[in-house]
A and B are shown apart, each in its own frame.
Chain A
Amino acid sequence: MLSQQIINGLMLGAIYMLVAVAFTLAIGVLNFLNFSLPGLFMLGGMLAFGFLKLGWPFFLAAGGALFVAALVSLLVERLAYRRMREGDAEVPLVSSLGFLVLLENLVLIRYGSDQQAFPALFADMNVRVGGLVIGIAQMVSLAISLGLVAWLSWFLRATNAGRRIRTVAENRETALLMGINIERLVPQLFVGSALLAALAGLLFAVNYQQVSPFMGEGIGFKAVAAMIIGGMGSIWGAVIGGLLIGLAEVLSISLIGADVVNITVYGLLLVILIVRPQGLIGRPPAREKL
């Protein structure tokens, strides 16, 4: 049954991975630890739940949830991030945390604080491969998350827009001199990272069939841990860190017990930070970014 647990761990890891990549875009390019991302993760799940309850078809509910998350992210850019340019670096960090609390409480007012059941989309549809049971939802989610991250990595490497983003990540002043329209790029990055986080929340809801106003918090912390384990500012670091934490979590639940999950995950973080402070595939600062 170990291989079954590995599949389950990868699934959970893929969700951490998406959120970790969202954090990585914000930190790596904008130098902004965007604490509103766990809130956008939650919006992805909760709003899809709410829209489904209104009787919307799934794809409309999912699209609607992603759309709202993107709009909220643009508000975070306007109201929290833009202030950083003028004042202290801590201000946007705290105000993005304020956005998280605000979003959680707005959703709580509308839907209550209890955990809610998210409808099963692919009820009882499984694929059996040599003793392994893989749910359709699980398979589709894994394929979507890995495919999306692979596409993002290609996009950053091989397109003009990707090179512009990496230039801003390395040096904003040089980016300006190269004629990169930073005023337009920054909101686009906020939308991109919001879509990643909200999609992760949606996939979480579909796979674990539960949502709550506070579903983003634990995931958010683990995604930040994943980003640090992998190496800050590197997309593939976030991928490896996310999958590793998912695996560690699922394996420690099944092998040791549910009580030790946080000890395993954050213990792993501590050990890696002690052994390799720059993270698993982190490079020395000011080298290759993303």
Chain B
Amino acid sequence: MALLDVSALQVQYGRVTALSGVDLRVGEGEVVTVLGANGAGKSTLLRAILGAVPVRAGGITFDGVDLTRQPPHARIKAGVVLVPEGRRILISLSVEENLLLGAHMRTDSRAIRAEIDAIYQRFPNLGERRHMLASCLSGGEQQMLAIGRAMLAKPRLMMLDEPSLGLSPLFVSKLFDLIRELNRGGLSVLLVEQNTGKALGVAHHATVLELGRVVMAGDPKALAADPRLQEAYLGEGTPAHH
């Protein structure tokens, strides 16, 4: 049984249909990537899995538990966490307060302290600036902070929404190293990316969305070689039939 099981998911914003029947599975310990052009519905999919947008039809099961009607805080408690598009660092909080915010539902303060110190060890720049407002960090450091904050929720599944957007090449490779490292530690990952090559390189499974539908899904190596991927990504291909 998959850790995350999304079936026939439909989401609408008013009269705009953002997702029309999306199926997706993430197995325990897997990295799954979701690709697609702007407006394909990738962010909507992640937000629906977190519970931040209402689902019109379909279901979301996590570790065998139906989460479809649960609020975000219940899903995060269950082990699903989102590193949102644009990072959404709290600029009126210090670096350390941003990390503590990630752990706001936990009570094991000793373990939280140890995890924060481990993050500072891994990213010394964050440690040096722990008491400064998070707005003083560079974009790449903010992305590491956002991932650290998400880790402090003790997730089993981490969803990342275009984490490499706007990062320097150096930070992009740091980011993918970190994703690999977290995954080796047992974390399951659902990764939305514009950086197709890097994403297919790290993923065990890939899904391509177009206008709210799954148009391709399968082995990332096979997808990387498929010319239809390029078409879907540029948003000019006619929807392929499954």
Contact = CB atoms under 8 A, between A and B. Distances in A.
Interface residues of B, number: 25
B73 A179 contact: yes
A169 B90 CA distance: 10
A178 B104 contact: yes
Contacts of B50: 177
A170 B100 CA distance: 16
Contact of B76 (A164, A166, A174, A179): A179
B133 A174 contact: no
Given A177-B82, A179-B76, A287-B92, A163 B104 contact: yes
A176 interface: yes
A160 interface: yes
Nearest to A183: B71
B97 interface: yes
Nearest to A288: B92
Q: Most chain-B CB neighbours within 10 Å: which of A166, A167, A179, A183? A: A179
Given A160-B100, A167-B101, A174 B71 contact: no
Interface in B155-184: none
Interface string B29-70: 000000000000000000100101000000000000000000
A178 B83 CA distance: 9
B88 interface: yes
B102 interface: yes
B91 A178 contact: no
Contacts of A180: 73, 104
A183 to B, nearest CB: 8
Name the interface size band of chain A: 20 to 34
B127 interface: no
A174 B72 contact: no
Given A177-B72, A179-B73, A166 B88 contact: no
A186 to B, nearest CB: 14
B104 A164 contact: yes
A179 B90 contact: no
A174 B153 contact: no
Contacts, number: 62
Given A178-B101, A179-B76, A181-B71, A166 B93 contact: yes
Contacts of A113: none
A170 B104 contact: no
Interface in B97-114: 97, 100-105
A130 to B, nearest CB: 42
Given A160-B100, A163-B97, A171-B90, A181 B73 contact: yes
A177 B84 contact: yes
Contacts of A287: 91-92, 133
Interface string A145-167: 00000000000000010011011
B239 to A, nearest CB: 30
Interface in A35-65: none
Interface of B: 47, 50, 52, 71-73, 75-77, 82, 84, 88, 90-93, 97, 100-105, 133, 153
Given A163-B97, A169-B92, 16 more contacts: A164-B101, A167-B101, A170-B91, A170-B92, A170-B93, A171-B90, A178-B76, A178-B101, A178-B104, A179-B72, A179-B73, A179-B75, A179-B104, A179-B153, A180-B104, A287-B91
Interface of A: 160, 163-164, 166-167, 169-171, 173-174, 176-181, 183, 286-289
